[in-house]
Amino acid sequence: MAISVATIYDVAKLARVSTYTVSCVVNKSAYVSPELTERVLAAVKQLDYTPNAVARSLQTRTTKTIGMLIPDIANPFYARVVRGVEDRLSKDGYSLLLGNTYNEVAAQTRYLSLFRGRQVDALLLFMASGGEAAVQRLVEEKRPVVCVGRIPQDFDCDSVSADNITGTRLAIDHLIKKGHKTIGLVAGELALSAGMDRVKGWRAALKKRKLLADDSLIEAGDWTEVSGCEATHRLLDHSPQPTAIFAANFLMMTGVLRALLERGIAVPQQVEVASSDDSEWLDVFTPAITTVALPSYDMGQQAADLALARLKDPKRPFTKVVLEPALRVRG
């Protein structure tokens, strides 16, 4: 059975006014006398009337919606980014449409098509590896796009990221100061800036301390717990075995710990673990894990700011925002 939805015509009839008057009251687009305004608002309340967003978007050429693609909302890092975006957009009356790509190009392509059909006003996204071409086309079509976390290498656009080179360097330097000389890196996808920047930070810290940056101590995954576990097992077969491991993100860090548990290796007595991404959960986590705290909430706020600025001024120069991380030492 279809649900009966009140229309602007129903409101006009009940309030004994024209549909134009109803539109002016609802949209606050023109002056209406207090008496008529009161009648319209009473009718709106009685009928539980909701303005037709589709019809409004046809008139204004905007939908007041922003599309956003993230790899996985189950990762606390992305959840905090999304919260930053929503908190900022809500102040300007925008709603957020969210999609999870799971780092798959096919999922990214599907959502881009969906967002185009929904006529979102702007797009924020963590690009899937191999999905740059589609994003580049959107930028070339002058569509408002903000790349978050993962910065394209072959074209310019508005972007917000954390300084992953510096963050990783801080963590590796901390491990070196604790006496570790053989430090493994469980990296993310190296085709993405976020993955390769962690490798650059790892190398920089080791070379600064005149330690060998042996590439055989780098094992890449796809940002998931499973890939982190598999990468760690490969690292543990290395000779000499690393005495410390740095994981590229929170989920991969849990995979590192799982692999060490499966091997019967004590943390941190035999192998110490540090990670990019932070979570308040880690304050009560055993073993204590030192992390690189990335400004995830601020990344979301800044990304939303860039999207809104692009909507107000489509011809403005592209802006690249790089936020500083912080080392959070535990244990």
Residue at 2 is within a domain: no
**In this predicted structure, what is the pLDDT of residue 284?**
86
Q: Judge if 173 and 221 occupy the same domain.
A: yes
CATH code of the domain containing 202: 3.40.50.2300
Q: Judge if 40 and 113 occupy the same domain.
A: no
Find residue 97's DSSP bridge partners.
67
User: Tokens 């410390």 map to which residue?
Assistant: 244
pTM for the full model? 0.81
Residue at 212 is within a domain: yes
**In this predicted structure, what is the pLDDT of residue 11?**
86
Q: Judge if 300 and 156 occupy the same domain.
A: yes
Q: Judge if 27 and 81 occupy the same domain.
A: no
Host domain of residue 271: 164-293
Q: Judge if 173 and 153 occupy the same domain.
A: no
Residues 6+ apart with CB under 8 A from 313: none
Q: Which of 185, 194, 208 is nearest to 159 (CA)?
A: 194
Report mean pLDDT in 10-residue bins for the chain, 331 residues.
70 90 83 91 87 52 87 91 97 94 95 91 95 94 95 94 97 97 96 94 96 94 95 95 96 96 96 92 87 96 98 96 96 79
Residue at 114 is within a domain: yes
Q: Judge if 154 and 184 occupy the same domain.
A: no
- What is the domain count for the chain? 3
Read off the amino acid at residue 279: S
Q: Judge if 191 and 303 occupy the same domain.
A: no
Residue at 248 is within a domain: yes
Q: Judge if 70 and 141 occupy the same domain.
A: yes
Q: How far apart, in whole angstroms, are the C-alpha atoms of residue 165 and residue 280?
A: 23
Q: Judge if 302 and 289 occupy the same domain.
A: no
Q: Judge if 168 and 289 occupy the same domain.
A: yes
User: Tokens 């207090």 map to which residue?
Assistant: 34
Residue at 304 is within a domain: yes
**In this predicted structure, what is the pLDDT of residue 60?**
46
Residue at 3 is within a domain: no
Q: How far apart, in whole angstroms, are the C-alpha atoms of residue 84 and residue 315?
A: 25
Q: Judge if 158 and 200 occupy the same domain.
A: no
Q: Judge if 229 and 273 occupy the same domain.
A: yes
- Cis link prior to 144 (omega < 30° from 0)? no
Q: Which helix (H) or strand (E) segment is 64 a member of?
A: none
Q: How far apart, in whole angstroms, are the C-alpha atoms of residue 273 and residue 229?
A: 13
Residue at 56 is within a domain: no
**In this predicted structure, what is the pLDDT of residue 86?**
97
CATH code of the domain containing 28: 1.10.260.40
Residue at 270 is within a domain: yes
Reduced DSSP (H G I as helix, E B as strand, rest coil) percent helix, strand, coil of the chain, to 5: 50, 15, 35
Q: Which of 19, 76, 79, 59 is nearest to 43 (CA)?
A: 19
Residues 6+ apart with CB under 8 A from 236: 242, 259, 260, 263, 265
DSSP-derived pairing of the beta strands 326-328 and 290-293: antiparallel
